[in-house]
Amino acid sequence: MDKFENNTEELEVDSEEKSSGKKIEVDEEHLPSGAMAIHEHIRQDGQKELERDGMALFWSAVAAGLSMGASLLAKGVFHVNLVGMPGSFLLENLGYTFGFIIVIMARQQLFTENTVTAVLPVMQHPTTSNFWLLMRLWGIVLLGNIVGTALVALAFEYMPIFDEATRKAFDEIGMKVMENPPGEMFANAMISGWIIATMVWMFPAAGSAKIFVIVLMTWLVALGDLTHIVVGSVEILYLVFNGTLHWSEFFWPFALPTLAGNICGGTFIFALISHAQIRNDMSNKKKAEAKRKQEELSRSSAKTGKRDG
């Protein structure tokens, strides 16, 4: 774990605000648009995450992986107890949201959330050091999430907690994911990455309704049978530990296509488009600031001229 220990003074994101000694402006009244206010709010959170201590990131990510076990637990229990009931499909998939609620409300590190939050500072100032900080964050958080999901999958398999019906439900949930070939894993994961990134983008404006945003957006992921690298890892590792699947099947066809899809959906599509929509706002803001400074300089020069006269 020593490799995660860092000197926090060295972990500093390159940004115009840091170089000028200013803070990121997140007040909508002082920004050209509401979209830019959201962008700057998320970018500020992203900078904080990129600069966090490695060990803190890792253990928070492990906690998130463990918490994601709640999604499989709730979905499995609902699957057993709602058989034959009207609307059972909708209610069963509502269980999928439980893990996300715990992770996000507890501020634990979730990989797919970081695919948009931590990317915005890098898009704003794409330097080598910022890119390295992003890769460091993603690597630590992904590793911690997988460790956490493996631990909770082990617990579900080997601890005397669940009856045979619930264990069978866990098997069925995991095997349904494995019905997707690699191409479909990737495509489904790309859509889920987009939805999770959209959810993160909605948080600054959600206020006290944040938990409802989490439920609605993650429920949509479940209803669409979309793949997610962290939740899916609990489901597939459970099958690995009970001998249904081989270790290699965790990586292919599941983990690698799903990871790539989540990154593409959350980063290369959503974050790029979200950043692109406010580029002109940023440019206009800089022009307005430059114009204001020029006017102040002109007024100052005029006053100096009058005094000299």
pLDDT at res. 233? 97
- pLDDT attached to residue 124: 79
What's the confidence (pLDDT) of residue 178? 96
Give the per-residue pLDDT at 205. Answer: 84
**260: amino acid identity, one letter:** A
Residues 79-128: pLDDT tens digits? Answer: 999 988 888 999 999 999 999 999 999 999 999 887 778 888 888 788 89
Q: Which residues contact 215 (CB under 8 A, 6 or more apart)?
A: 94, 97, 101
Radius of gyration of the chain measured on its C-alpha atoms? 23
CATH number of this structure's domain 31-295: 1.20.1080.10
Chunk the chain into consecutive blocks of 10 residues (it has 309) and report each block's average pLDDT, rounded to whole numbers: 52 65 54 68 86 93 97 95 88 95 94 84 85 94 97 95 94 95 96 92 88 96 95 97 95 96 84 67 54 60 57
Q: Collapse the DSSP code of 249 into the 3-class scheme (helix H, G, I; strand E, B; otherwise coil) and give the result.
A: helix
Boundaries of every domain in the chain: 31-295
Q: Which residues contact 131 (CB under 8 A, 6 or more apart)?
A: 122
Hey, what amino acid is at 105? M
Alpha-carbon distances of 163 from 76, 190, 259, rounded to whole Å:
11, 35, 32
pTM given for the model: 0.83
Q: CA–CA separation, 122 vs 224, rounded Å? A: 31
Among residues 192, 214, 197, 59, the alpha carbon closest in space to that of 120 is found at 197
Looking at residue 8, what is its pLDDT? Answer: 47
Q: How crowded is residue 286: how many other Cβ atoms within 10 Å of its Cβ?
A: 11
Would you say 199 and 213 are in contact if contact means Cβ atoms under 8 Å apart? yes
**Given this model, what pLDDT does residue 28 score?**
53
Looking at residue 11, its pLDDT comes to 72
